[in-house]
Amino acid sequence: MKKSLVLFLLLAMVVSLAGCSGSGDKNGGADANEIKIGINYELTGAVASYGESSVNGILMAFDEINAAGGINGMKIVPVQFDNKSEPAEATSLATRLMTQEGVVAALGPATSGNFMATIPVAMGNKVPIISASATADKGVTVDDKGNVNEYVFRLCFNDSFQGVTMANFAFNNLNATKAVIIQDNSSDYGKGLAENFKATFEAAGGTIVAHEGYVAKDKDFNAILTSIKGKDFDVIFIPGYYQEAGLIIKQARDQGIDAPILGADGFDSPVLLELAGAEALNDVYFSNHYSSIDEDPLVKEFIKAYKEKNGVEPNAFNALGYDLGMFIADAVERAGSADPEAIKDALAETKGFVGVTGTFDMGEDHNPIKSAVVIGLENGVQATSVKVDPN
């Protein structure tokens, strides 16, 4: 009996502790020299690597700003929580950040699903949220009925934009007029990319001479490749992920198809090189958010600073996170106050923001009008990078 009494006391303590911590930080935003910005990211769970990379970039940006004197003399105070890669936890944390911690804006989560789970909270509390990597086409900044979610922003292009980018790149940079599409039929990503590539390429005056499809986990693409081999075309566009793309590239080169092969950020993985082999990865181009071989001085400086601080080369998520930190600071400065409403307006009115991942204006639909980087591979390594503007 005594034991159970002790246990109950212990439980009571835990519960009351919980109550305290839940209602403790209610004086959010009271200090005039501080700006609280919420960080709601995946630090544990399935996609922890995305979250952690992004947060590294964000914090680096905040440190730089605070070291330089803050925004109009106000220091940025990041309020950081881990959403365990779970949408319900992301919802809970967004609510906490906005109602308990008094943040003026919340950054993240990194993935589209978790980000979407926080949209109703942002709309209800009228606090802006921004993601640097939620690239889903539907349901992010614009809802199902076509209305813009007023408090929701992102600073990455969406999936289908890359289709447009690659079509422009093929037509303008590679002077291609005839293209073949081999698309991944099993993902929205592949379908969206293919549709947008086709529309843009045809509008520019090109023709699609063949449109083939496969499903994820396919291994043998020789039938498709044989059927297109006899046709006359300049480029092959493969909207899909690196597992299948790697095999398609290898089998195409084995068959003697040496036309340039194009893809999107789904190619961005070391596995592509393992599957295709270095000698097959020539004349392969794919769009990405950022390239580490970019000659832009801003990018070079970022890479140098990041290496000094963390000892490793920054990846695309680090770069996007860094830009996100700089972007929100820029918006707060332009808003001139710590009022979420004013910050939201400043975010929407962004013109010519210069970031590591590109220069952009915020579009009507709260998606950035932003250039993508097209990376060219030579013997499996990044050899060229070209910025392609949206128009």
Q: Using CB under 8 A as the criterion, which residues of the chain lie in contact with other proteins when the complex forms?
A: 3-4, 6-7, 11, 14-15, 17-18, 21-23, 43-44, 46, 80-82, 86-88, 91-93, 95-96, 99-100, 112-113, 116-117, 119-120, 124-125, 136, 138-139, 143-144, 188
The enclosing H or E element of 283 equals none
CB 62 within 8 A of CB 78: yes
State the minimum distance, in angstroms, from the CB of residue 45 to other proteins.
10
Report the residue number, 185 or 282, with the smaller CB distance to other proteins. Answer: 185
Report the residue number, 82 or 294, with the smaller CB distance to other proteins. Answer: 82
CB 269 within 8 A of CB 375: no
Report the residue number, 110 or 346, with the smaller CB distance to other proteins. Answer: 110
Report the residue number, 136 or 375, with the smaller CB distance to other proteins. Answer: 136
CA distance 23 to 229: 67
CA distance 4 to 182: 66
State the minimum distance, in angstroms, from the CB of residue 57 to other proteins.
17
Write down how long the chain is: 391
State the minimum distance, in angstroms, from the CB of residue 294 to other proteins.
31
State the minimum distance, in angstroms, from the CB of residue 132 to other proteins.
19
Sign of torsion, CA 328 333 337 343? negative
State the minimum distance, in angstroms, from the CB of residue 95 to other proteins.
5
Report the residue number, 51 or 376, with the smaller CB distance to other proteins. Answer: 51
In sequence order, what are the beta bridge partners of 302?
Answer: none
State the minimum distance, in angstroms, from the CB of residue 100 to other proteins.
5
The rounded Cα 382 to chain-centroid distance in angstroms is: 20
**Any idea which residue has 């993240």 for tokens?**
108
Report the residue number, 102 or 325, with the smaller CB distance to other proteins. Answer: 102
DSSP code, position 151: T
Question: CB neighbours of 338 closer than 8 A, spacing ≥ 6?
Answer: 29, 35, 74, 104, 332
State the minimum distance, in angstroms, from the CB of residue 319 to other proteins.
23
The pair of three-digit structure tokens given for residue 197, joined into one six-digit string = 């590539």
For 336-389, where are the E strands, in sequence order?
Answer: 353-355, 358-362, 368-370, 372-378, 381-388
Report the residue number, 13 or 278, with the smaller CB distance to other proteins. Answer: 13
Determine the residue type at 197: F
The phi-psi region of residue 288 (left if phi > 0; otherwise alpha if psi is between -120 and 50; otherwise beta) is beta
Burial of 20 (0-12, 13-18, 19+ CB in 10 A): exposed
State the minimum distance, in angstroms, from the CB of residue 98 to other proteins.
8
Report the residue number, 7 or 298, with the smaller CB distance to other proteins. Answer: 7
Report the residue number, 258 or 365, with the smaller CB distance to other proteins. Answer: 365
State the minimum distance, in angstroms, from the CB of residue 130 to other proteins.
18
For 83-121, where are the E strands, in sequence order?
Answer: 105-107
**Any idea which residue has 């498709």 for tokens?**
224
The pair of three-digit structure tokens given for residue 254, joined into one six-digit string = 């084995």
